[in-house]
Amino acid sequence: MTAESLYRRGIFALDRALTRPGAVRRRQAIYWSSIWTQVRRADMGGSFCVTGFPSSGTNWLCNLVSCYFGVPVFEPWMRLTPSLAPHVFHLHRFIDTPAARARTLYITRDGRDALVSRYMKLSPNPNDDRPLRAFEATSGITYDKTEARAQLPAFIEWYFNESRFSAMNWADHVRRARALDLALLKFEDLKLTPLDTLEPVFERVSGQRIDRARLSDVVDQMDFVKLRAPETAHHMRKSQVGEWQALYTREAREIFADYAQDALEEIGYETGRDWVTIADK
């Protein structure tokens, strides 16, 4: 057995010996100390931040950035100490320093689809069942993902008023990204035209001219479908664009618009409220 294998086995043994909150705190301490070390350095020491609202394609984008620039994705669960080496840092929070803003790629996804994903991931969630229990307690509904169309109105209402499990809701998240003027790309564009979508944001955050042939190879290698291995399926479910259209009733559309219509328009997904009054499918 190699020294690296023994090291990893030691880390896993330590985390198993800790309570779940203790293991999470250990990893977060390593993660955040590594990030704050990098954001104080010019050009983040060669590191990048990939930020986005959960269920917006951040895992996919991390892999694309890592593969093209040859910088590994930071994995705190594989370390006992912080790192000074350059990494791709996967975040849902914002790091507001000049160095971090310049090296952050922000990926956004239509919030209506993002909330469908959040609803579907309530269960089974191998990591945390608290959101599921909170939703059921607040709504009085017994969660059943096969009843998504009927349950989404209550879920959307609960989601926009629940602050225990997320620092920002989808609308506040995209507003913050726009206010920070981050290099922004849309998940939908990344699926449809990956080269044209990635090239300008890669150039902006790296300050380098992008090799389009190499980028094409990376896109093929890091295709979303290829990355959906069984162990990551919880994080990479379907990646469907426009899934919300078949699942949102008129009630669901009205509730979402009441909370986030301005964000839909600001990010370019809608130009008005006509989408709310379309006939149910």
248 within some domain: yes
Both 99 and 118 in one domain: the answer is: no
Q: What is the pLDDT of residue 235?
A: 44
10-residue stretch averages of pLDDT, the chain, 281 residues long: 70 77 86 90 93 93 96 88 92 93 97 95 80 94 95 97 87 96 96 96 96 96 64 51 94 97 95 86 54
**How big, in percent rounded to 5, are the helix, strand and coil portions of the chain?**
60, 5, 35
Instruction: State whether 68 and 22 are in the same domain.
Output: yes
pLDDT computed for residue 178 by the predictor? 95
Same domain as 21, residue 156: no
Backbone Cα Rg of the chain: 20
Query: Which pLDDT belongs to residue 35?
Result: 92
134/241 same-domain check: yes
In a domain, 34, yes or no: yes
Q: Are residues 140 and 58 in the same domain?
A: no
pLDDT of residue 106: 98
Same domain? For 140 and 247 the reply is yes
Fill in the DSSP letter of residue 240. -
Domain count, the chain: 2
DSSP state for residue 73 in the 8-state scheme: B
Strand bridging mode 88-91 / 48-52: parallel
Q: State residue 172's pLDDT score.
A: 95
Please check whether residue 178 lies inside any domain of the structure.
Answer: no
Q: How far is CA 23 from CA 12, 129, 130, 239, in A?
A: 10, 17, 17, 30
Q: 16-43 in b/e burial notation, b at 16+ Cβ within 10 A?
A: eeeeeeebbebbeebbeebbeebbeeee
Least Cα distance to 109 among 29, 154, 160, 54 occurs for 54
